[in-house]
Structure formats: structure tokens, C-alpha cells
Structure 1
């Protein structure tokens, strides 16, 4: 029997050395049949089960008395792979001191999965300083921990200290690129990701992998490249890359979930109001494949959840809830929001989703109350909450409250952005004509904010836009001199502004009205410019409208001056002909039906298509035609009558003889017989 056990151990040793885990497992089972409870065979079986991914059966063995004390590390590793991270962290306390290096590695990885990036970085630093561990896997994890911990700026120094480069492996290049994405350096991140693809393809093709397998291995890099392309504005390229990743039938649920989430987020951002509900419904179906219901709670699948960080889990659940709201699946959205509240109680997105749900149910006050605490918190999400409150207030017609919430969001530089200014101006105009001074002060403060920033293309565009708005405001108020000053300042900052027909016409009109010297300066500037191209019909319309606008403003100012007394000399008329104004016909753009091609209209529609059929002009002709079709003509209907109805052509049949009456039953009777 001992010889048989030794033979099986020899087979087990050969299988382990050759990497044949299944053969080794069979040999271990044969040994345990001959020698039940053999500690060495049990330890080998546990390791082989872990290599084969059978963590549940391995857990059963390591919890049995012969192995419980000596295989604490294997127990912690099985718990980690089954997604029980906190239990695995507690089990590491029983790992003996002689296994300190693997314990530190596993503890750092568990902390990284739990979001404890500071703890993970400290553990990796201990591995390097105390144990001089320089494996490529650990180096990759160190870079990933720094990136996830918000310390991407320290990655170059850390890589220099570890004497590694992005060209050493595509995993390191990928993690470096992720750090650059977090730092907002998208162009540099794209270059690093392309480097990761080249390095990965070289390494994987050297291992004799097929093309499909190489594409599957590099799927995370491809998905990240698609995300960077989307951030850079290349939407179609990003969508095509996401679809290519999802078309690989990946076994990696992490990459598949991220690619699915990003794809439908991009599609929903570009969907029109008529197609958004359909796209959202598809998104719910696709994202539902990564969800499961456990204990009445919606959560990510058990195999996927431990492989995602807290931010990724929050994003997936929030996307699922948002898509359900857009698809009008309120019950599904409520289930997702409850799940986020239980699993991620500190997530700021919960309040925003609750506000959206209340608004969907027609409860505007509850929606605003759900956001009030988050907006007052002063955290990083307070600005988004204030923006959402402003949007809800504007939707219910409360422009005063919407303006107050909008003014509370962001700092002074953010408030000076043209998009924010345009929204504030629209809200102020919605409050009536008495807000002109506040509009002017808002624009003036924004102009001062931009003028204090360094020169840039963004600064030039913002200042030009603000000056145009200020000039238009002064023009509406009849303050022509100030409007001319703003236009003069605009042209001084950006001489190319005169290429805009609207600006050119108003500058010329105002220069003629306000000051003749301005007209001379304008003429000199126009002579220095290249000859303008031929104006289109749209440019000519813009010139005509601008001239009419300036003329009307000047006339209103003159009427106002005449009504309030001689405050000064009346400005001269801009056009000859007195006060006689011809009514100009408005040019309306024709609206065509959906799918109609003006270049190929086809036959014209029937003008009588709205009338009942019996009232149409062709109905009488049709009635006459039907009436005369079978009409009988001639005397007594000759030629049209049915001959079968003419009784004169019927041959007389001989009269039938009358039948004798039937005899009564009972046989022959004799006369004279009767009742006696």
C-alpha cells in the first residue's frame, strides 16, 4: 500500500511540475482514497483547486481541522476571490509571520478593492522598502493604487524609483494612461494607450495567441481609448470602438459592463427627444444583464461586484436608474435608487435620482427638498445640486428662484462662462423689463473677470461675446453712444469681428449717427482688410435686419426725447423719406411634412382630399356612369330587358288530369251496411 501511495505522489509531483492541474487533482484523490486525511495530499489538493478556480470546494477543505491552522493564507485568498473582501481581510490576521510577503501583497490588493488606496500604497511601499519585491505584477499594482488614490501626479516619480517604464508591459502603460485621464491630459493619455496596444500586441503574439484572443486581452485598453476619443469630441469613433469591444463576446464582465455603460451613455447624450425613450429602454435591457436580485435588493452580480471600485459600482447603478427613468420605468428606477442607498449610503447621486423621481411623479417641492441638503453641503457635488435646483425652478416657471440657485453654483470664473451668462440673461429677461440694470451689471462683472485672466482663445471668445451682448443691450435701451463704444472696443480687440455682417452694419450705422470721426476710423480699418467675399442671401438679410433695428431704436429715442421735452438736439434721421414706412412682407421659411423632398415633390396632392367623397367634383360623373351602365333603353326596354322574364316565349304544357280521391283505409265495403 505504501508503494502505491509513493507512486501516486510521484505522479502528483510530475503533474504539478508540468502545470497539469487536473491530472494532479486526480492523483491527489487517489492518494486520499488510500490514505484518508493525509495532510500533504490535502494541501496539494487545495492548491490545485485554487488553480482550477474551484474556490468553494477549496474553502471546505481549508476550514477542516487538519488544514485550518496551517492554511490561513489560502483561506483568506479563497474569500478574496469569492468577493468577501472584509472577511478575507479579517482572515489575514491568522497568517503566520513566515508568510508576511504574500500576506502584504494580498492585503494591499484587498485594500485597493475596498477603495482604501492610501492603505494600499503604504503596504506596497513596505513591500519595496522592507522586502525589495520587484515583480512586474506588484509594480503594476503600485501604479494602479497611486492612480486610484488620486495621486496620479506622483506616478512618474514612483516609476523612476522602481526603475520601470511604460514600455515594460501594456498593463503599466494602461495604468499610466488612466492617471493621465484623471489629470485631464487626454492627448498624452491617448498616446500612452496606443503605446499599450503596440506593446501588448507584440507580447501576446509572441505567446502564439490567436488574433481574437489578443483582441480580448487588449479589450480594456480599447475601451479606454474609446472613452478618451469621446472626451475629445470624436463621438462616432468612440461608439464604434465600444461596439467592437462588445462584439468580442468577452468573458471579462468588468470590461463588458464598462463598455456597455459608456456606449449607452454616449447614445443617450446624442439621442433626440423622439428616440431617447427607445434608446433608454435598450440600455435598461443591456445593463440588466449585469444585475441580480439578492434578498429583495438589486445589486451587481456577485462575480462582477468585487472587481469594480466604488465609483464604478455607483456609476453603473446610477446609469441603470437614469435609463429606467428616461424609459418611463419608474418602478425599476425606484428599485435601483433603493439599492444605491443601501450599498453606497454616501453617494451624492442618490439625492439627484430621488429628485428626478419626485419630479417624474409631479412632486416639485419634494424634488427641491431632496437636493437642498446636498446643495448646502459645500462639497464637490454641491454645484451640480444647485444647477439641478435651478433647472427644476425654471421648469416650473419660477425665474427668480432659478436665478438664485444658478448664482449659488460654482465660483466667479464659472459664473463668467458664456453659457452660464446666457442662461442668467434669459432668466432676468423673463422677470420683465425692469432688470436691464442688473443685466448690465452682470455682464460688466463677467467682462472684468475675463479681462483679468491671461490671454487665450477662450478668453478672446468670451470677451467678444460679452461685448456684443452689452452693445445689444445699450442699443435696446436707446443709448447709442455707449453701444457704439462697446462695438468700437470689440473691433479693437478683434478686428476680424468686422467680417460679421451684423457687427459691420451696426458699427457703420452707429458711427454715422453718433460721431463722424468713428466713421473715418471704420473706413480706414475696412480699407486695410482684404476685399470681402460675395455676400450670400442670408448675409444680405442680416444686413437689412440690422439696419432696420438701428433705425427703429434711433426713432424710439427721438420720440422719447420729444415726449419728455428738449433735453438736447434730436439725432438726425438715418434714412430719407420722413416718417413714412412701408410694411415689409415677412419672409417665412416653408415647413414641409416629414420625409418630403422639395427637390423631388412628385405629383401635387388632390385639393379636394378634405371633402367627403360624395361632395367631390368627380362624384357626379361617377354616379352618372354607374346609373347609365345597366339602364334599359327603347320602348318597353327593348334591347336591355331580360328575355327570361318574357312569358310569351314559354311553351304551354298539357294540363294534368285530376287525380281520383284516395280511398279510405279498411278494404272494400258493401252498400247498405250501416249501423244496426
Structure 2
């Protein structure tokens, strides 16, 4: 009975301790919970529950080193999830990946247990942070399949967010959109805003050709921003906190706008994000780097200053490997553009050691050498890396373009043209490449080759090659046709105008009229009949009036209309119009109106920038602002200092100076002195202290 009684007391004591531990965990008193776990282990060192609870308490306190130490004993196989998580949070990603993979088969309950699923999540997270996004996406997809099989499907499982993020990080937007439906995600009520954000990013990546989804991407991202704000406000967060969290989505919206060619709108959105000072330093860094790339700052010096301020250890930890690589290379480029070559060289060495396989390193190094006047060394650097590049790869194309640019900088146009002709891949035949190559041939004086290059590019553009479509395709063809016409190749220009007019419904009305009129002019150089035939297709405008009876000489004296609106041609006196415009410039009322408009616009800009309060009256300008401060009426400080000093004062010094100039006073003083001398006793001289010495 006594033994049984002792055993009963021991069990009761253990229950009491664990009851206290549970209460501590509920109250988030992790320090006391750790002490109680140590108490349990003092009596039972191998109590696995006490070790696990202690690890979790230390993890909640961000004490990952101590938690890892506690989980690394002889029970480390059982505590694989805790060890992998601590290694992940400490940045030891390779070790975390190794522990998570080794622990999946060793945990109790098999692969479908909760701890096994946690290890698979950790494996995918480690792969994602290591930049191995494709492998991470595969692990996440398998987790999603298992979750769908276990729960019976329906809706989007939480891991769908990770699937989309991994595919987007790998640059495989097509795969993300193949695994997940954007339409269903946007229509589903309560869909996670993170899922919408990642799918919007995938749509941005799929831009080009038949998959041009810029508008859909912007719509998806806008819905993600609204969902983000609503979900955070529903959880009790303030509007300011919700807006701060949504800054990441707004930054991505700006990126989508820049990919769509809306550079000004993208720069304005990024500027708003940067000025809002988001709490996430990674968002601030990405927005600052993109704004600098779009030229949104006053100059390169300011862009470099802002980028340096945004780059910190904390902000860089929140970026993907590709994002951090782009930011660091952008910093090198800004240093180079600002003329800080020594600092650029030091930064480039550090960046190239971190990213040895990047093609940006040799390109920036060549630019740095070229700026220092070492063109030969720059060419050798590019050619050395070009020999290692995979044929047809993006790296080879970018290096060849750099070599061509280097030759052009050194005025070796022949080698530059030969190098540019040899560039393959997606760049060859594009309007930009054709423009550069035609410019090189024109510089060499070979207009025939230049025209042949533009004609080939026009044929490719008319077929819709290089993802050209819609307005972009039409304007490219119009630009090439105008160039051929300006260079005197009227037949080729007419053919290109015809290709442009065959686009049909895709051609804008004003653009069609412009192309038709240009075609008439091009045919007039070599086929008047065809020119008249095409001229008959131009739309008639009654506002132009009839040309019958119009005097050509009078037409030459007619002033051209100064707006895009149609006007009737009338004879005017140019001299009187010039005098009238000159008189209007001197009109005081017109000048005052112009000043008032400028002032209102300036005040509106100050209000927008937050420099003045619109609720308070605008202070009137100081009428004495052009006078030095010491001379202003209200500048009383120091007014009495040295008041009576100098010729302009009224003190003793000024009186003496004045007396010297008064001739009458001097004459009277001389006369008074002579009269006084007459009554003095003999031997006394005026102005002397003593009498006459004998």
C-alpha cells in the first residue's frame, strides 16, 4: 500500500506540473513554461514531451539557437520538424533541407501524419528560399494533391498560394496558370488575396503573343489589393495598417503597368509606394530599384542615394535571389553612370563573387573598362564570356549586343554591323534591332543595305513576328514605311504602307487615314495613275471646301492651321498677325491672367506634395524679400550696435570730421586766439604749458 501510495503521489505531481505548463502556454508565459519543462527533465531527462514543449517555447521567443541545441540530443530524429524549422529560421537552408528530407521517413505516423506534412512544407520552403523554385513547386503540387485527396477537394486549398508563388518565382507563369484557374480564383468568394496576387504575377510573366494578359493581370492584382484591405480590416487592423500591407500589391501593379509600356503611370505608382514608407523593407527596396530603373528620380545621383538608403541587411533578406541580384547589379550601373568608377569596381567584384554565373557581371565590367579608356580589354572580357555561352541562349544574345555596342562606340561600324547581323534568338529582326543595324549602315554610307534591313523587318512585322500585334504592330510598320520614304526608297515605302493597310480592323481610323495619305505621296514619285487611284480612297471632308478656282500663288501665302481641327483656308496678313501677337504679349491683363494660372498650378502642386495645408490661407509673399535681411524694416536684431560709428553717425568722430571742413569756424577760432594773446603777460605762448625758458 505504501508503494502504491508513493506511486500515486508521483503521478499527481506530474499531472500538476503539466497542468501548469498548459496554463503557461495559454497565457503565453513561455519563460515559466521552459522552467517547468526543465523541472520535469531534472527528474526524467529523456521525457520527449518536455523536450518538445521546451523547443516550441524557445521558438516562440525567437531563441532559435537554444531551441536547436535542445532538439539536437539523442532524440534529434524524433524532433526533426523542430530542428528543420530552427535551421530554416537561422538561414542554414541547406542543412534545413537535408534534415527535412531525412526526417520525412523517420517521423511516427508515416507520410500522412501532421509532422510529416510539416517536414514537406519545410522542404519546399527551403527550396524556395534557395532559389530552386521549380523543385519547390513540384513539392508544393504533391502536397496540394495529398491535401485534396485527404479532404475530398472543393475550393482552393491553402497550399495553392505556395504553388502559384513557386511557379511565379521560377518564371513559369504558364505552369501556374495551368495548375490554377484565374477565373475561378477571382469568382470564388473569400479567395485568399495572396493567391490572387501570385496569379496576377503569373499573368504578367505570360505577357506576349497570344498570352498577352496585361489587362487581366492588372484586374487580378486590383482585386487582390481590395481583398487584402478588406481581410485585414475584418481582422481588426486599422485602415493604415491594411494600406501598408497592400503596398506590396501596389508595387506589383506598377510593375505590370511598366511591362505594358505605361512607364509614366508605373513611375507615379512606385513613387506613391516609396513615399508611403512601407513597413516591409523588402517592398521599399524593390519599389526604389524599379523606380530608379524607370528613371523616376531627378537624376542618377538621387537614384543612387535612394537605392543605397533602401539596401540593408534586413531588406535584402526579404528578397528572392533573382531580385537581390538585380538590385545589386543596378547599384553597380548607377555607380558607373555617376562616374564613381572605383566604388563601382569594388562593388562589382563583390557582386560577381556572389553571382558568378550571371551575364550582367561581364557586361558591366566591359562598360567600366570602356569608360576608363580600355576598349581592347573590354572587348576581350566580352569575347571570353561569349565563348563560354550556350549557342542561342539569352546570355549569348546579350553579350553579342554588348560587343556590337562596344564596336560602335569605338567607331568601328563595320565590325559592329557584322556582330549585330550575327545576333540570333528573339532579338533578330525586331524593329529595334533593325533600327540599330540600319543606323550603322547609314553611318557607313550604304543606304541600300540599310533599306534591305528595314524591308526585312517590315515583312516580319506584317506577319506578326516578335509578339507584335495591334497598335504596336501598326505603329512599327508606319515608322519603317516613313523611314523608307524619307530615304528615297519610295517603291519599298509604298509596299510597306500597303502591308499596313492590309491589317484591316486592327488599324485605328486616324492611323489608316495617315497611312493612306502617305501611300498617295509615295506612289506620286513613280506611278501617278496609282497615286490618283489611292487618293480617291481618302475620305472627303466638306470643311475643306472645293479646290476649283483656287490660285496656287495665293495658296502658298496661306497660313497653315495651328491645331489638329479642320479649318477653312483663308488669306491672312502675316505682318498684322505678327504685330497683334507681339501686342498681346505686352497686354497687362493677359500677363496677370497668365501669372494667376501659374500660381494656382504651383499651389496645387504644393498641396499635392503635402508642403502646405489647403485649409490654411496661403501666406502672402514678403514685399522686402529682395532686400538683405539686415536692411529690412523688421530686422531689428543688432540695429543699435555701432550706431554712432563712422562718417554717417552723429558721435564725436563725425563732429571732428565736420569741424575740419568748416572754414568759417576755423577763422573765428583763429581771431579769438589772437585777441586772447594780446592780454597775456610777456613770455607766455599760447598752447604751451610753461613760460619762456631762459
Give the TM-score, by structure 1 length: 0.69
Query: What residue in structure 2 maps to residue 44 of structure 1?
Result: 53
Distance 2:398 2:272 in 1: 33
- Write the distance in 1 (CA, Å) between the matches of 2:226 and 2:277: 22
Match of 1:649 in 2: 671
Alignment counterpart, residue 98 of structure 2, candidates 57, 74, 90: 90
Partner of 1:278: 301
Match of 2:341 in 1: 330
Distance 1:426 1:47 in 2: 67
* Partners of 2:255 and 2:266 within 8 A in 1: yes
**How far, CA to CA, are the matches of 1:106 and 1:483 in structure 2?**
62
Structure 1: distance between partners of 2:196 and 2:386? 39
User: How far has the Cα of 1:408 moved from its partner?
Assistant: 2.7
- Corresponding residue SS for 2:356: coil
- Does the alignment pair 1:256 with 2:279? no
Q: Which runs of 5+ in 1 are unaligned?
A: 291-300, 541-597, 603-639, 663-676
Q: Which residue of 2 aligns with 1:446?
A: 457
Specify every segment of 5 or more residues in structure 2 that has no aligned partner in the other structure, as ranges. Answer: 1-8, 109-114, 208-212, 546-557, 565-589, 596-660, 685-689
Following superposition, the deviation at residue 164 of structure 1 comes to 7.0
- Cα distance in 2 for partners of 1:120, 1:239 equals 33
2:35 aligned to 11, 14, 29, which one?
Answer: 29
What displacement does 1:258 show? 1.6
Q: Aligned match of 2:117 in 96, 101, 116? A: 101
Q: Flag the structure with larger Rg.
A: 1
Partner residue in 2 for 1:72: 80
Deviates more, 1:496-505 or 1:231-240: 496-505
CA contact (8 A) 2:137 2:166 kept: yes
Higher RCO structure (Cα 8 Å, ≥6 apart): 1
List aligned pairs for 1:476-555, cutoff 5 A.
482=491, 507=521, 511=524, 517-518=529-530, 520-521=532-533, 524-525=536-537, 528=540, 532=544, 536=560
1:103 Cα deviation from its structure 2 partner: 1.6
Q: Is the 8 A contact 1:11 1:24 kept in 2?
A: no
CA 501–219 in structure 1, closer or farther in 2 if over 3 Å, else same = closer
d(CA) in 1 for partners of 2:492, 2:262: 40
- Whether 2:350 is the aligned partner of 1:339: answer yes
SS of the residue corresponding to residue 29 of structure 1 reads helix
Equivalents in 1 of 2:515, 2:157: separation in Å? 63
Partner of 1:238: helix, strand, or coil?
helix
Partner Cα separation in structure 2 for residue 83 and residue 311 of structure 1: 17
Aligned to 1:154: 175
Rounded Cα–Cα distance in structure 1 between residues aligned with 2:318 and 2:515: 58
Separation in 2 of the partners of 1:402 and 1:485?
Answer: 30
1:195 to 211, 218, 223: 223
On the 8 A contact 2:100/2:120 being kept in 1, the answer is: no
Q: Which residue of 2 aligns with 1:229?
A: 257
- Counterparts in 2 of 1:35 and 1:359: CA distance versus 1, 3 Å: same
Q: Secondary structure at the match of 1:153?
A: helix
SS at match of 2:199: helix
Aligned ranges for residues 383-462 of structure 1 at < 5 Å? 383-411=397-425, 414-432=427-445, 435-453=446-464, 456-462=470-476
* Residue pair 1:501, 1:539 contacting (<8 A) in 2 also: no
**Distance across 2 between alignment mates of 1:205 and 1:284:** 32
Task: Give the Cα separation in 1 of the matches to 2:219 and 2:520.
Answer: 48
The farther-off stretch of 79-88 and 356-365 is: 356-365
Distance 2:339 2:75 in 1: 55
2:243 equivalent among 215, 226, 235: 215
Report if aligned partners of 1:490, 1:497 keep a CA contact under 8 Å in 2: no
Contact 2:101–2:119 under 8 Å retained in 1 = no
Secondary structure of residue in 2 paired with 1:651: helix
Q: Tell me the distance in 1 between the aligned counterparts of 2:130 and 2:279.
A: 23
How far residue 441 of structure 1 moved from its aligned partner, in angstroms, is 2.6
Partner of 2:164: 143
CA–CA distance in structure 1, aligned partners of residues 427 and 544 of structure 2: 37
| Distance in 1, Cα, partners of 2:193 & 2:169 | 18
Cα distance in structure 2, aligned partners of 1:487 and 1:316: 42
1:239 aligns with 2:267: yes
Residues 428 and 439 in structure 1, CA contact (< 8 A), matched pair in contact too: yes
Residue deviations 1:262-315, cap 9 Å, x none? 22222xx356xxx52322332343244x2xxxxxxxxxx2x5555432211211
Contact (CA 8 Å) 1:166, 1:173: kept in 2 or not? no
Of 335-344 and 648-657, the range deviating more from structure 2: 648-657
For the 8 Å contact 1:112–1:120, the answer to whether it is kept is: yes
The answer as to whether partners of 1:9 and 1:28 remain within 8 angstroms in 2 is: no
Deviation at 1:204, TM superposition (A): 2.0
Structure 1 residues 456-484: Cα deviation after superposition (integer angstroms, max 9, x where no partner): 54444344433333333336xxxx8x589
Within 1, Cα distance between the matches of 2:98 and 2:496?
71
The 2-side partners of 1:504 and 1:325 are apart by 44
Q: What residue is the counterpart of 1:11 in the other structure?
A: 20
Q: Is the 8 A contact 1:147 1:175 kept in 2?
A: yes
Aligned position for 2:202 = 179
For the residues of structure 2 that align with 1:41 and 1:254, how far apart are their CA atoms? Answer: 38
Per the alignment, do residues 375 and 517 of structure 1 end up closer, same or farther by CA in structure 2, a change over 3 Å counting? same
Query: Does the Cα contact within 8 Å between 2:24 and 2:32 map onto a contact in 1?
Result: no
What do the CA deviations read for 1:18-63 (whole angstroms, capped 9, x no partner)? 3x33x14323325536864754444312102212322233223223
Q: Which moved more, 1:422-431 or 1:135-144?
A: 135-144
Name 2:599's counterpart in structure 1. Answer: none
User: Hey, what's the Cα distance between the residues in 1 that align with 2:339 and 2:692?
Assistant: 91
| Contact 1:416–1:446, Cα closer than 8 Å, also in 2 | yes
Distance 1:48 1:483, change over 3 A: closer
**1:531–1:115 Cα change, 3 Å:** same
Superposed CA RMSD in Å reads: 4.1
Post-superposition offset of 1:214? 1.6
Bigger shift: 235-244 or 338-347?
235-244
Q: 1:181 to 1:496 in 2, by over 3 A?
A: closer
Larger CA deviation: 499-508 vs 278-287: 499-508
Q: 1:133 to 1:648 in 2, by over 3 A?
A: same
Following TM superposition, by how much is the alpha carbon of 1:213 offset from its aligned partner in structure 2, in angstroms?
A: 2.1
Give the secondary-structure state (helix, strand or coil) at the position aligned to 2:159: helix
Q: Is the 8 A contact 1:321 1:336 kept in 2?
A: yes
Bigger CA drift: 519-528 or 315-324?
Answer: 519-528
| Matching residue of 1:123 | 139
